[in-house]
Amino acid sequence: MRAASALETARRVRAGEIPADRPLEEALARAREADAGPRGIHAFLSLSDSGANSHPEPASGPPPNSDSRDAREPGSAADDGDPDLTLAGVPVAVKDNLCTLELPTTCASRFLEGYRSPYEATVVRRLRARGGRVVGKTNLDEFGMGSSTENSAFGPTRNPRDPSRVPGGSSGGSAAAVAAGVVPCALGSDTGGSVRQPAALCGVVGVKPTYGRVSRYGLVAFASSLDQVGTFGASVADAALLLEAISGHDPRDSTSAPLPAPDLMGHLDDGVAGKVVGIPVEYVPDSLDPEIRARMDEASRHLAEAGAEIRRVSLPHTRYAVPTYYVLATAEASSNLARYDGVRFGVRSPEARATQEVYEASRTRGFGPEVVRRIILGTFGLSAGYHDQYYGRAQRVRALIARDFRRVWADGVDVLLTPTSPTPAFPLGERSDDPVSMYLSDIFTVTANLAGIPAVSVPAGTTHGLPCGAQLLAPAWHEAPLLAAARTLEQSLGGGA
Amino acid sequence: MSVGRDEVQRIAALARIRLDDDAADRLDAELTGILAHVDTLMEVDVSEAEEGLVLPPPFHGPDAPPVPDSGSVFRQVELEADALASGAPGDRAPEWSEGFFLVPRLPAVDGTREGGA
């Protein structure tokens, strides 16, 4: 049996119709079944004990990061019907690069195998404050570096729609957990498409909010000017419900915007009547798979029937987005991952005889091949003699990509419609030896990260028998109209709760 | 551009990663392929672009969030109980004392092997 929707689960728990712990216990049973055996999807790296997070405070004293919205026990007499418990009893899967107290945080890396964080990510704390329950930690490409979840040190995740294929990445475990019906919603992180692309490939909803909308305190850093926590849902409503619960200013993250959490649920049914939907010509090139083009044509027709004006627009610097992204993201990663040195984190190599050897032996042993590739590329782009040519230039092109979007919004466009991924889910192993081909999986998603704007992937039918995603993008801080458009599309395609 | 094995080894040393010759040759070929793709950035006219963004796009220009009511982005620091001092880290570290993790001593720079904490 698949998970009930988050909205329905929370309503029933608040009303006292079911015990608050039951949805978590049922989700844990589904997770074990989905991951079991050699053909299991391997969505989870660790699972909670069924009672583990019913006591939100650590047993040993006060929490290190007490939030004004402290975790509470749903279902008790005092909380019966508490409207603040928007996630009462809702089982949520959490990507394993978000720090949790009860479960290890590995980032799917040998370097952090068994690492237990002494503090909890703000997003995890907030979802528990709303009554949500952490089911377990989900698989990812090591440190978020990949588009297929094949770069996990603990083995790949399989796509629930076709287990011979990848679920996308890097948040492939979270996407697969939702697609398999284990949980109604999940947390991921999106640096270049790592929530939206796996959502598209697995046939679920994935949202990347505006840079600064959601706290990154407790998110293990990959590329700090691009990383943002995002949500998955079996429906737009479930992804929005979780996003609303985790949004808002956090003084512990200096890049968190001093804005209140947006009212997303109250605007979900606002529709698109009178809105202008732009279709950027650069995202529907002649080379685009004809089946994906057909799904995009259907999506734009549905939005037009719902009252939107469809307009063709241009974002002329789009073709430079992937190279810009890979220069900047790897440069930031090479700096962020310097902390993994065998002293502050990770298993220290016993063979090392000098300080320098400790660093080199530990890093050489601890990192997988894609992480090494990106650290080397990032170090190269920042090194003397190449800095201006690569990093400096990529920063300037990034500014032009952001300006392209600002000009389109200034011309009156409310939302942009594009494909999420240039291909459906590909077979396991197909792109493992071809980094450029793998990097081009992100061609339609990296621009939102470079410009810092919100974007969502919504299921838009199938291509070649596999799920296909439509991406919607909006101006910074406009998550509410973005998700209203996503909801319109979802309903016109017969989906959603 | 071609990177070359020696340059890959120089960059790897900067990144504190050790590569054998096979790995260096493989990375040389991969980086050369990736840089051929990256080199398309050289065609872009960047004369109108801002240089050296300090913060990502939504934090400057017309989309920037408002300055807090206090008029300052600085906040009062509220000291909280230290997580490690107030609660035993338990299985979070093999050894700890007075709020600090105890780690093995680093080998001396001269290469003398030293043990113990």
Read off the DSSP letter of residue A69.
S
Q: How far is A436 from chain B (nearest CA, A)?
A: 6
For residue A416, which phi and psi values (nearest 5 degrees)?
-110, 145
pLDDT of residue A336: 97
* Interchain proximity B50–A359, CB inside 8 Å: no
CA distance A112 to A116: 9
Query: Which residues of chain A are under the pLDDT cut of 70?
Result: 50-80, 496-497
In A393-410, which positions are buried (b, 16+ CB within 10 angstroms) versus exposed (e)?
A: bbbbbbbbbbbbbbebbe
In chain A, which among 103-132 make CB contacts under 8 A with chain B?
116-119
pLDDT band at B110 (very low <50, low <70, confident <90, very high): very low
> Contact at 8 Å (CB) between B90 and A71?
no
pLDDT of residue B69: 62
Q: At a CB cut-off of 8 Å and minimum separation 6, what does A229 contact?
A: A98, A123, A187, A188, A189, A190, A209, A214, A215, A216, A219, A246
pLDDT of residue B2: 79
Q: Where are the domains of chain B?
A: 1-41
- CATH homologous superfamily for A1-497? Amidase signature (AS) domain (3.90.1300.10)
CA distance A161 to A201: 9
CA distance A251 to A146: 30
What's domain B1-41's architecture? Orthogonal Bundle (1.10)
Residues of A in contact with B95 (CB under 8 A): none
pLDDT of residue B63: 72
Taking CA atoms, B113 is separated from A252, A346, A353, A360, B16, in Å, by 40, 20, 6, 16, 20
DSSP per-residue letters across A395-464: HHHHHHHHHHHHHHHHTT--EEEEES-SSSPPBTTTTTT-HHHHHGGGTTTHHHHHHT--EEEEEEEEET
* Interchain proximity B42–A257, CB inside 8 Å: no
Over residues A467-477, the pLDDT tens digits come to: 999 999 999 99
User: What pTM does this model have?
Assistant: 0.92
Q: A43-47, B14-18, B67-71: lowest mean pLDDT where?
A: B67-71
Q: A318-327, B30-39, B92-101: lowest mean pLDDT where?
A: B92-101
pLDDT of residue B115: 44
Say whether pLDDT at B68 is over 70: no
- B81 vs A135 pLDDT, higher one: A135
Read off the DSSP letter of residue A98.
B
Q: At a CB cut-off of 8 Å and minimum separation 6, what does A465 contact?
A: none
CA distance A362 to B58: 38
Query: Of residues A194, A215, A235, A256, which has the active-site annotation?
Result: A194
CA distance A375 to A204: 32
How many A/B residue pairs have CB atoms within 8 Å? 195
For residue A420, which phi and psi values (nearest 5 degrees)?
-85, -40
> Contact at 8 Å (CB) between A92 and A98?
no
Residue in A253, A376, A395, A438 to test binding to B, most B beta-carbons within 10 Å: A376
A170 is annotated as an active-site residue = yes
> Contact at 8 Å (CB) between A164 and A427?
yes
- Does ipTM surpass 0.90 in this model? no
Residues of A in contact with B49 (CB under 8 A): 396-397, 399-400, 403
Q: Where are the alpha helices (DSSP H) in chain B?
A: 5-14, 21-38, 83-86
A194 is annotated as an active-site residue = yes
Dihedral-angle region of residue A116 (phi above 0 means left; psi in -120 to 50 means alpha; beta otherwise): beta
A235 is annotated as an active-site residue = no
> Contact at 8 Å (CB) between A93 and A44?
yes
Find residue B96's DSSP bridge partners.
B101
Q: How far is A493 from chain B (nearest CA, A)?
A: 32
Taking CA atoms, A120 is separated from A63, A260, A459, B62, in Å, by 9, 21, 32, 34
- E strand intervals along A67-201: 91-95, 133-138, 185-189
Q: Which helix or strand (DSSP H or E) is residue A343 part of?
A: none
- E strand intervals along B20-110: 96-97, 100-101
* Interchain proximity A324–B103, CB inside 8 Å: no
* Interchain proximity A476–B63, CB inside 8 Å: yes
Residue with tokens 């990502």: B56
Residues of A in contact with B50 (CB under 8 A): 396, 399
